[in-house]
Every structure is written in C-alpha cells, then in structure tokens.
Structure 1
C-alpha cells in the first residue's frame, strides 16, 4: 500500500486544530495544575446500533492513524491560539514539542462490533489523550456509520435470486455533506461491500474501481437521443452504458439503445448496459429486459438508480425487478435514515500515585453508566460460531479448556456455560509509545474481513428488521469492579 502521506486525500492536510475548544481548555487546566503528564485511559465506543441494525462495521482507523502520526502544532497554530488570549506563553511553548507518545489499541477495520464494546482504547499522558478525542470520534463515527449502511444496502441487493450477486455502486459524491464526507464515505462504502465508486478522487486515493456513464445533459445536448447514444458508443465502444430515461424509457430510450447495441455488435463490440434513473423501476426494468432479450441483447445489463436505499431495493427485488446493478447515492453517502452513529470517548482509568485507578461515569440514564478500568475485548467461538463477546479487565487470563460461565450484565439471572471455545482478542496494538506498529491493510483486505466476519454470526443477528441481540457480557471481575465503584459513589 502507498504510505499515507502519498495518498491524494492526505496531501497538504494539517488537522491538529480539528478539535473542540474544550479539549484545549482542559489541557490548559491540567497544565496549570501540573497534572499534564499523568497517564489516563480512554475508551471509544457507541451505545446503540444505527438504522435498527444488529451490529456495526468498524471503520476509520486508517485516518486516525494518519492523524496521530502527523499530530503537531505549527507556528500558525500557536499564533492563532495566542490570539484567543486564553492560554499562557508557558503552555504555548510546551505545545511546540507536542507529539502523540501514547498507546492505541483498536479493533481492525472491517470488524463486526456491538454496543458498549471498546472499539479503540487510548492510553497516555492526559494532555495528548485529551486533545485527540474529537478528531478520532469524527473519523470512526462517520466511516463506521457509512460502512454499516452500505452493508445493509448490499445485503438487500443480494436477496435478488434472479440476479445472484447483484453489485452496488456508490454514486453519492454530489450529495455528500462535503468533500471529505464524499471521499471517506466512498472508502467506507467499499468496506461495506460496494464494488465501485463514481468518485474519481476516492478511486485514486484508495485504488477503487471507478465507473460512470453519462448525464441527461449529454443526451439533451445532441439533436436526437439516438445521435447522443451513437456518439457515446463511438467514444467507448467496449464500455457503453446508455441512460435511457431522458425522454421515454420504453418508447424511445430502450429502442434507441437496441439500435446502437446492434450497431456495436456488427463491429465486434457489445452494449454493456442501460441505466434507468426514474419512473417505476420494477415495471420498466421488466419491460426493458423483454425488449433487450427479444433483440438478442441478452448480455446487456440493466442498471438502476434514483434515490435507492435498502428498503426500496428489497421491495424491487420482491416485485421481480430485472435489475443487474444498483447505483446508490444520497441515502448511502449520507446514511439519511440515521445520520449519526454516536460514538463516545470516556475516561476509564487515571494515574494515581504511579498506578492506574479505574474511573466510572454515573448517570441517571443507566445506558450512560460506563464500564470502568483498562479493558480488553474478547470474541468467543464455539464450533466456529460467535456465541458472545466478553469485555474483561486487561490483565485477565482465560483457559479455553475450562468451562466459562457467561451472564447478562443487566439481567444477571440469564446465564450460560460454554466449554471447548476459542478466543479472539479483538483489540490489537496500533501505536506503542507513539510509534505506529500496525501494518495498515489495503482496502480490499478490509472488505474481505467484513465478509469473513459476518460468516460467524447467525442470520437472526444479521437480519435488518428487529435483529436478535448479540450477547456482549462483562467478566465477573469487571462486573464486580463496576458494582463496587457504584456502591462507593452512592455512599459518597
């Protein structure tokens, strides 16, 4: 893979001030109190699956790695902070040599994760670990959300038994909230299972397949639809996909596409496809398929677009739509149904007299009570089937040859004993003492990990509507620690 600094999307980027002001004010407060070098541990996790889904696909780690590798304050940064007249010269002078020197553990991109699981664990001096909160959350929140939405759309397309493996193309550049959302969103969509993008910068940056046809303006700019089709076929004889809904799909678009398809065949080429971008896609695709087949163009594919999402695609498949490829834009790149994932970044341990002490956040809302302490995340398998995830304290050790009792951390009477299980430790080292120690995989490898991961989970967990809740349990030691801290808080 190219080094991160060489990728087009990273060129000339400086993101150190991509932070909320309160990160800087807290850093300054720690500095003034002489506590800025004390070590802390923060967990990044989310509380609720998006879009009614049963899981999330973790993404965004590559961008977090790039950000941490390049984190420093420039003279311009310091001049701006000085202009705010909020910070002392001693603090600004300290920031001149700022670099990330901590440890970061994370689940690999493409990992299937669940609510309340630590996706990223950061440990280091509080000054550093505090600063990075907002940026890291931004990278992981956005791409994990889009990768998950893309997976839902891809799975809806895969229900088409008439067209096994009907691919999905990401086409949302013009509808994304901004440039970065379009490029990183295209990356995340590919992780989620899309086969290509229309976004050229994303394709160049991440070596993605890039596809495109023509807009309605191309057809309108010619004296006739047929002339426009011939002009495009002359330019791209081996990659001709014709947009057939500018005027009338069945009376004009498809008949003219058939004429051009036969002309291409006479020259030794093939009409690759037609695209329908409006109207009743089920009816139009079925009639278009009949017309193409009758003309001998049985290998010409039908591509559909027009505000598609997983629900529309599933309905079209149910109605017998003859669609081979799906172009999805707005609802994918914006995750319009659920536009935010809601990852949070919480303190779980703090250095006291040279040792890490667990910390807990207590709330009147039980879902916001955090799991304290430095932790690790284990996935437990029985006969190659994922049966539960277990959040444990970082130094706990388990022997798969011994029975293990799992219990629901809320309804503790719900218990299950497993034996002969396998353990996968999901949090892996990415940075140690500020040095990148993880070999970042290419995007095809990440996409493949998603496919492999999903095979281990039951269809009940993976279904889109009211999925079965996958078990995420706490170890007995972690559960006991949490209850002890809650009792201490109640007595205080």
Structure 2
C-alpha cells in the first residue's frame, strides 16, 4: 500500500487535524451550527531574505470548496503578495469548512512555497531556460502537484510524464548517467549511447548529451559534437560536487572549445545541486538550467487562517485573536506599492486584488489556464525585486 490520501479523503475532511472534528462536535452540542464567519488566509511571515511570495494553489482550493455553502474571495492565482496581506477569505457557516482548514492551508502553503522558489530561481536565471528536475526528491503521489507549482511559478518545463501530461505540455529531459554506464560496460564505449539515443528518440526531441560521465567535460562535449554534428542541440553538465571545482571555469572551457572547433550553435545546460546563487553566477555563460531539490524542498511560505468577523444578530462583528487585525479587508495594488483597507470603504488607490470566485458554493469566475497563470507570473517578475 501507499501511504497517501485519496481525493475523496481530502474532500470529506479525513485529512484534518483531530481538534477540528472535536470543535465541530462542541459547536453542534452548543447549538451553534449555523454561525457564519469570515475567515482570512494571510501571510504571517516570509523566509529569511524573501521580500515577497507567490499565491498559488487556488485552483485546488476552489475545487475543494465548490458545492459548499460558502463564498470565496481571493487574489488571482500567481499573484505576488507581501506580509500581513490577506490572500483569500472564506465567508459562510463555519461548520461548512471547519474540517477543511488543514487541507486548505496545506494546499496553499505547499503550492505557494514551491511556486515562490521557482519564481526566484527563474528570476535569477534571467532570460535563460529553467527546467524543474525535482521529482526524485518527492513522494511520487505529489509529483504532479509539484510540477504544476513549479511550472506556474515560472519554470519553462517539467521532467515527469504525468506532471507534463496534466499540464498539457511536453516533458523535458535529456539522458541519465545510467545510459552511458551500461554502454561502457556492455559495448566498451559509452559514447555509443549518444548515437543510439539519436537513432531511437523521436525527431522532435532535442539531442542533448550528458557530457561528464567518464571523461573531462570539454573532451566529452567535443566528442558529442563530432559524432552527432548538426543534430546535436546541446550538452548537459551534471558534474558531481566532488569533481566540480569552479563550475564557471568548466563551462567557459567547454564553451571556448566548442566555439573554437566550429560548434557555436551547441547549447550548454547545467544541472546538479543548483540554487539561486549558482544560477545567477552562471546565467551569462550557459543556455539553461535544470533545478531540482532547491525548488522541490523550498523554505516555507507561512500562511495562516484566522476568523476576522462573526455574524451576530444579522450584522458582521470584527473580532479575532490577539496579534491579528480584525475585520474583512481588501488589498489594492497601487503601482509599485500595496495598500490594505477595510472592505467596502472607498479605494485608497489602484485596483482591488481580492476577487469573488465562489458564491454560495457555485463557481462564479473561471480560473485561468496554467499557461496563463505562468505568463502572469513572468510579467510580475519583471517588476519584483
């Protein structure tokens, strides 16, 4: 068996913390089954050195809440947000969604954490290609979710078959070291793996050779270029840390050698243990990156849910615990700055970001496609610091 929850388990509330089930029983026994609340989801804190986060996961939350007697307001998926800003509000009888708080926060926090890291890596890469190679760092049950979070966060592609299928894109990847090792052991020449790869994969698959298995990166890159000629799209350098040394110097050496021998069109891609600093340091000398663990296991974007208003006698009463700001709020984008104001008050500036997505259980606004969310994120990245 696999220790995973089914979609039915999530929707039915089986993935909740036990104290929510006990809370439901207490409220029922006290005759408080129809109390309406406004529950706000907001950013409590950002990881060190982060100035913003990306709000993602909304599409799944809407699916979770659809059909329940609630109204949902939220920022569009992919919106950049800052500390203490509400990103979503659920309005309705508390018992309609009490047991779903755990799942909702899990979806939003996990999604937003991966998407934010993907966006930061993509920004560090400048205009260069950034592919998500993090599936092997994750339980397979959540790979498609992580692929989607990374893709809408700005990554140009994902590696897994299922994740790409659900996104409606082609999976991206090159070849594993295992391929060269087997050819070396069985046929005495690991470079034959490149020829057989060229002969075997569909024509629309870029011929990108892994050029660091047994020989020097420069030597393997030149061997591949000579063997495949104009069919070679690029080489990938996945040099292990124990042999890496100064990666920039290695890339510069490979680039120099390829150019010197007339292979200027051969691209260079780098992967293996990369994060923002390494990506930023190499972006002017490489054509693309494969980034895995740094995106798959990012610092956590700390979102929390708090009741900020309760309906009493037909009117909404602002109330919350200490340390939180009571009352239903709207967030406004005012050029390069943000403003938070009480809901219903005149707009202080700019455009409101919280929009209605569900009204009394019915979807009233169609979520954008994943590619549209990604384009929205990329447009914002140009403005974010």
TM-score, normalized by length of structure 1?
0.71
Unmatched segments (≥5 aa) in structure 1 = 1-9, 70-98, 159-164, 363-368, 399-403, 405-421, 464-492
Query: 1:82-135: per-residue Cα shift (whole Å, max 9, x none)?
Result: xxxxxxxxxxxxxxxxx5111110000111111111101001111013222111
What's the CA shift for 1:136? 0.9
Quote the residue 1:116 is aligned against.
84
Q: Quick check: 1:172 aligned with 2:121?
A: no
Aligned residue among 34, 47, 67 for 1:50:
47
Kept in 2, the 8 Å contact 1:374–1:394? The answer is yes
Kept in 2, the 8 Å contact 1:243–1:277? The answer is yes
- SS at 2:379's partner residue? helix
Distance 1:343 1:62 in 2: 17
Quote the residue 1:137 is aligned against.
105
The structure where strand makes up a greater share of residues is 2
Quote the residue 2:175 is aligned against.
214
- Is the alpha carbon distance of 1:312 and 1:453 closer, same or farther for their aligned partners in structure 2, counting shifts above 3 Å? closer
What's the CA shift for 1:180? 4.4
Quote the residue 2:115 is aligned against.
147
- For these two proteins, the number of residue pairs brought into alignment is 368
Kept in 1, the 8 Å contact 2:46–2:302? The answer is no
Distance 2:113 2:263 in 1: 39
Quote the residue 1:433 is aligned against.
360
| 1:42-441 map, 5 Å | 42-69=39-66, 100-158=68-126, 165-176=127-138, 178-222=139-183, 223=187, 224-236=189-201, 239-250=206-217, 252-262=219-229, 265=230, 270-278=231-239, 279=244, 280-317=246-283, 322-335=285-298, 338=299, 340-362=300-322, 369-380=323-334, 385-387=335-337, 389-398=338-347, 422-441=349-368
| Larger mean Cα displacement after TM superposition, 181-190 or 141-150 | 181-190
What's the CA shift for 1:251? 6.2
What's the CA shift for 1:432? 0.3
Distance 2:321 2:78 in 1: 29
- Is the alpha carbon distance of 1:298 and 1:378 closer, same or farther for their aligned partners in structure 2, counting shifts above 3 Å? same
Distance 2:7 2:85 in 1: 34
Quote the residue 1:443 is aligned against.
370
What's the CA shift for 1:308? 0.2
- SS at 2:44's partner residue? coil
Q: RMSD between aligned alpha carbons?
A: 1.9
Structure exhibiting the larger radius of gyration computed from Cα positions: 1
Kept in 2, the 8 Å contact 1:40–1:129? The answer is no
Unmatched segments (≥5 aa) in structure 2 = none
- Is the alpha carbon distance of 1:175 and 1:119 closer, same or farther for their aligned partners in structure 2, counting shifts above 3 Å? same
- SS at 2:302's partner residue? coil
Kept in 1, the 8 Å contact 2:36–2:310? The answer is yes
What's the CA shift for 1:426? 0.6
- Is the alpha carbon distance of 1:250 and 1:377 closer, same or farther for their aligned partners in structure 2, counting shifts above 3 Å? closer
Distance 1:360 1:341 in 2: 22
Distance 1:376 1:201 in 2: 38
- SS at 1:285's partner residue? helix
Kept in 2, the 8 Å contact 1:308–1:329? The answer is yes
Kept in 1, the 8 Å contact 2:218–2:253? The answer is no
- SS at 1:112's partner residue? strand
Distance 2:68 2:223 in 1: 61
What's the CA shift for 1:13? 4.8
Distance 1:347 1:131 in 2: 14
What's the CA shift for 1:179? 2.8
Kept in 2, the 8 Å contact 1:197–1:210? The answer is yes
Distance 1:131 1:441 in 2: 27
TM-score, normalized by length of structure 2?
0.90
What's the CA shift for 1:250? 3.5
